[in-house]
Amino acid sequence: MPLIISIFMCLISIQTWAAFSNYNSVLIGEKAAGMGGTGTAILGDPSASSYYNPATLSRMPGRSLSASANLYNKIDTHYGDVDNTVEAAQKINQGSFKSIPSASGSILSYRQFALGLSIIVPDYDYFSGFLKNNSDTKTTLQVLDESLWVGGNLALNLNDNQSLGLTIYYTSRFYQRTARDEKLTAAPIGAIITSETVSHTHNSVVYILGYYNQLSSKIGLGFSFRPPSIEVSGIGQVFLSSIQTPAQSQPTSMSDEDVKAETRIPLKIALGVSYTPSKLKTIAFDLSYYGPEKYFDIDNPEVATFIDNKPVLNAALGYEAYLNRWLRWRAGLFSNLSSHERVNSAAQRRGDHIDMWGFSTNLAIFTEDQVAFTLGGYYSGGRGHDVQRVGQVFEKIDKSKQIFSFLVGSAYFF
């Protein structure tokens, strides 16, 4: 164990790339998602173990396993006159849902070893609507932010109680922001109209080291460490246009298709404990730490967003109970605190700050053919602030976000 910790500490200094606003907006897996994201010290979730703690892969029963979890997300985001939680919940049946293949995994066990394949979507966000809409200012914003991680896993049982694991992901992230701002000017009545489109893509390698120890028949301990990722590429495109009427007949514009861009995922250290008082019940608790980062996401001061990641602790508490031999119920509570510093000024565009809290639940139905079907979901939401360009100047804006996620999963045990 001291050797393992020493290796982890040596890896902390590596540079990293990729970024999230809230780390728990997407809960990975079936069992872990139902238990609030407590995946570090629980066993039996082939769609999530590679992400939370790859050391648990070699402790699953059976020779091979395959699982997938699909999400149907409704993200209700409001700027300015924000909705409260009750109002958002009353409109849950309104608007569009986005289908997200959040996690899939396959595991093959041989003696004390386990090999696996994992595909996950750990972060997803979108928005399309008005930032401000009144008599003299009309500002619209469209944002799409999505990530995909594909990786392989290796786990090893050291003995009857302890195991180690490694997951290596190749990651891809795409971000696009399109904004249009129209501001009326003084007499003679005219307007200043600006448009901007910013997009960037990133690729990197992320690896996760895991350790699991079955301390007793009732208590399991899990530890995982995700050091900063290794950059592969990061490039962006920028288009800016501005026109003033009626004085200016021709717009001024600027475009660049080869701009250096970056996003960073801070390191993550997770500790989990599971308690199984009987074969029919499990209680789990996870505590996750994320490190700080400061950077601009694209090398163009006109459109860059300042990302100021602060150290964050997120916690999750989960519960699973066997209602009978073929039906299991899971529930969880979790924090989804903002990774960005509080918005105290509006001097430049920066990451939003919304501290969110959530809960989850699902039911898993097991058949005699070793097939499991999972139905459920989770919610997280909160209020905070963002900084965007409104009326030709940066402005601190109230912002609320409610995320409703419906989960459908399946698992096959052979």
What is the mean predicted confidence (pLDDT) over 146-163?
95
- Region of 4 on the Ramachandran plot (φ > 0 left; ψ -120 to 50 alpha; else beta): alpha
pLDDT tens for 180-210 read: 998 887 656 678 889 999 999 999 999 999 9
What is the mean predicted confidence (pLDDT) over 373-400?
91
Whose tokens are 């401000």? That residue is 132
Predicted confidence (pLDDT) at residue 16 exceeds the cutoff of 90? no
Q: How far apart are CA 257 and CA 249, in angstroms?
A: 26
pLDDT confidence bin for 96, thresholds 50/70/90: low
Give whichever of 135-144, 284-293, 345-354 has the largest mean pLDDT: 284-293
Quote the Cα angle for 110-270-402, to 5°: 110
The two beta strands, 356-366 and 327-336, are: antiparallel
pLDDT tens for 288-336 read: 999 998 888 899 888 888 888 899 999 999 999 999 989 999 999 999 9
Q: What is the pLDDT of residue 187?
A: 58
- The Cα diameter of the chain in Å comes to 82
| Mean pLDDT value across the chain | 87
What is the mean predicted confidence (pLDDT) over 133-161?
93
Predicted confidence (pLDDT) at residue 246 exceeds the cutoff of 90? no
Rounded to two decimals, the pTM is: 0.88
- Answer for the pair 44, 220: CB distance below 8 angstroms, yes or no: no
Predicted confidence (pLDDT) at residue 62 exceeds the cutoff of 90? no
The structure tokens listed for 291 are 């490190």
pLDDT confidence bin for 236, thresholds 50/70/90: very high
Higher pLDDT, 60 or 330: 330
The structure tokens listed for 212 are 């699991």
Amino acid at residue number 123: D
Q: What is the pLDDT of residue 156?
A: 96
Amino acid at residue number 47: S
pLDDT tens for 258-275 read: 899 987 878 999 999 999
Higher pLDDT, 76 or 14: 76
pLDDT confidence bin for 7, thresholds 50/70/90: very low
Q: How far apart are CA 330 and CA 274, in angstroms?
A: 14
Domains of the chain plus CATH, in order, are: 2-413 (2.40.160.60)
- Quick check: bond before 2 cis, omega within 30? no
User: How many CB atoms are closer than 10 A to CB 97?
Assistant: 14
User: How many CB atoms are closer than 10 A to CB 170?
Assistant: 15
